[in-house]
Chain A
């Protein structure tokens, strides 16, 4: 059964953390189509988390077509949408990023510097795309 985690210091809202974890697990193949997610009740008692938060996360996942809730049975992982990233794209982007990271570390950047650089460039790119 899938186990959720919660990082209280990430600044990411808890419901979004749950959604992201499922999205990521589906992408990486840890969750496969037809797998059942834990019941809201089970997540609540495991993480000591507000049930409304878990319900909100599950609603969001249904809206994104990540999962389907079947009344009385549970919530099940869907087939990946065709629009979703193919595994070959995923692998090649991952490789590209790994190459870039090695260059960054070789240039003397540490993890924090890498994160700061990524955030700053990411933000810039997004702003340019909007403008």
Chain B
């Protein structure tokens, strides 16, 4: 394996469809070996970005570099190191699980069929069942086993747990995190479910209206942001601290600030902010081109 510092780098990437820009000025550097969540509301451009990463789409502007290689010029060798699990875990419904595995073996340069069979046996999924007759959770597990059998260096998943019930979601994440624990794979997945992110991700990309509004290492982002609660203020303390969001009630004001010192005024309390609240605050912000916040990524 080559020692690539970044699993994924994009520089000024935009994608324009006939109806307009789905993604603009997307510049990211995502570290190898991590679990990266791509978060945003429906229509934010998450799927477009993921499809650009795996080479299913070509960018209108900018460059996408995956595992150190420009993805538009990528060879089968490069692509064989990238796994992709599309939304709703597509399988050929009339194929048996064994036939899906044979299909995977035939279509990939690298395919560890033994690994996939072991995983499915552990989960108690019979190889002779047709994919269409399995439960949603089992179908997701079969699709994941197929993607992991490629032994990818980068695994890209589009909304992998959105359609699963809580138990199936937990089981899916157990297998996915177990694969990360074995080492060697960087995981990039999109989600619009913000809670539970903190336990599975170490890196975050927030996408809104086709633009990246926040990106960085999650612990760094949480350490840099604070909730300040104090008496209602007339002004927003604009000059003093970088205010991400200000909420006023009759008598007190809650500020989400970045890199801010605690206001000297008495009666103010600083509290850590939960990841979910941080993400929601950035999603609520009107997106401005200059407002991209980057953290934890060396220049």
Contact = CB atoms under 8 A, between A and B. Distances in A.
Interface of A: 6, 8-9, 11-15, 40-41, 44-53, 56, 119-120, 123
Contact of A50 (B35, B170, B171, B222): B35
Given A11-B274, A15-B219, A44-B177, A52 B198 contact: no
Interface of B: 33-35, 170-171, 173-174, 176-178, 180-181, 195-196, 198-202, 219, 222, 269-270, 272-274
Nearest to A127: B262
Nearest to A15: B219
Nearest to B178: A45
A52 B174 contact: no
Contact of B181 (A6, A11, A44): A44
A48 B173 contact: yes
22 contacts: A8-B195, A8-B198, A11-B272, A11-B273, A11-B274, A12-B272, A14-B198, A15-B219, A41-B178, A44-B178, A46-B174, A48-B170, A48-B171, A48-B199, A48-B200, A49-B177, A49-B199, A50-B35, A50-B180, A51-B177, A52-B33, A56-B219
Contacts, number: 64
Contacts of A49: 177, 199-200
B196 A50 contact: no
B274 to A, nearest CB: 4
Contacts of B198: 8, 13-14
